[in-house]
Amino acid sequence: MKLWKYSMILVSLSMLILSSGVVSAEIIDDGQNDVLKANADGTYVRGQTMNVIDVDKITCTISGDTLTLEYKIVGPFQQTGDYMYYALVKTADYNYIVSMNDYGEGDALVTGNAAHDYNFDDPECIVGDNTLTAVFQTQGDTTIVEVFGWATFINTPVYTDWTPDSRGPEGSFDTGGDDTGGDDTGADDDDNGGNITKPKTPGFEAIAVIAAVGIALILLKRRK
């Protein structure tokens, strides 16, 4: 068999492995008792305890063509009153969002992260005592750019837990990119600062390709 045929096998094998549902995950473990109190005079007090808006963990798992987003608070959720909950997975092409407003209704939706159309996807958002979960059909490039969220009690003063902490007004996310100040609410997508978290399981694809190359090399050796 000629070299180009082995190359074809190699490419086919790589594509097969890459398309067979490689799992990647991004988990943000947030601290407890880390709620931020915003005073009317513009100052902040860290380290507040308010379990009902204390974000515990945000988990994004991509497997095959599904993206599962789970947003967990210490809880329990408050489904009436001035409470709001929000988590977003920003990928190269689209944003996958779960949220809950003060009507107590969980919502899951996809928004475009680039100037192109997308397929409307409106999966169920499952509301538990302390988790919001939604399973999305992935669209476009699913490379994870950032995962973040927040929970807030809109009162006087306002209490908010930002996840990760760097997303907050006192965090480090204003140090770069095009964000112009401390007014980033976490809901916009134009912040390109220093808080981009890398996927915790990089290299799955690389390992798959290396394995495919290894198999091809073994086949080549056997031919000699």
The residues that touch Ca ion, with contacts defined as CB under 5 A, are 30, 34, 54-55, 161
Whole-number minimum distance, CB 158 to Ca ion, in Å? 16
d(CA 75, CA 215): 50
DSSP 198-218: PPSSTTHHHHHHHHHHHHHHH
Nearer to Ca ion, 30 or 70 (CB): 30
Whole-number minimum distance, CB 33 to Ca ion, in Å? 8
Whole-number minimum distance, CB 96 to Ca ion, in Å? 21
d(CA 181, CA 174): 6
In the beta sheet, which residues pair with residue 94? 112
Nearer to Ca ion, 30 or 191 (CB): 30
Nearer to Ca ion, 59 or 142 (CB): 59
User: If you ran DSSP here, which 8-state letter would residue 103 be given?
Assistant: T
Which of these, 65, 59, 14, lies nearest to 149 by C-alpha position? 59
Residue 121 φ/ψ region, left for φ over 0, alpha for ψ in the -120 to 50 degree band, beta for the rest: beta
Nearer to Ca ion, 34 or 184 (CB): 34
Whole-number minimum distance, CB 189 to Ca ion, in Å? 22
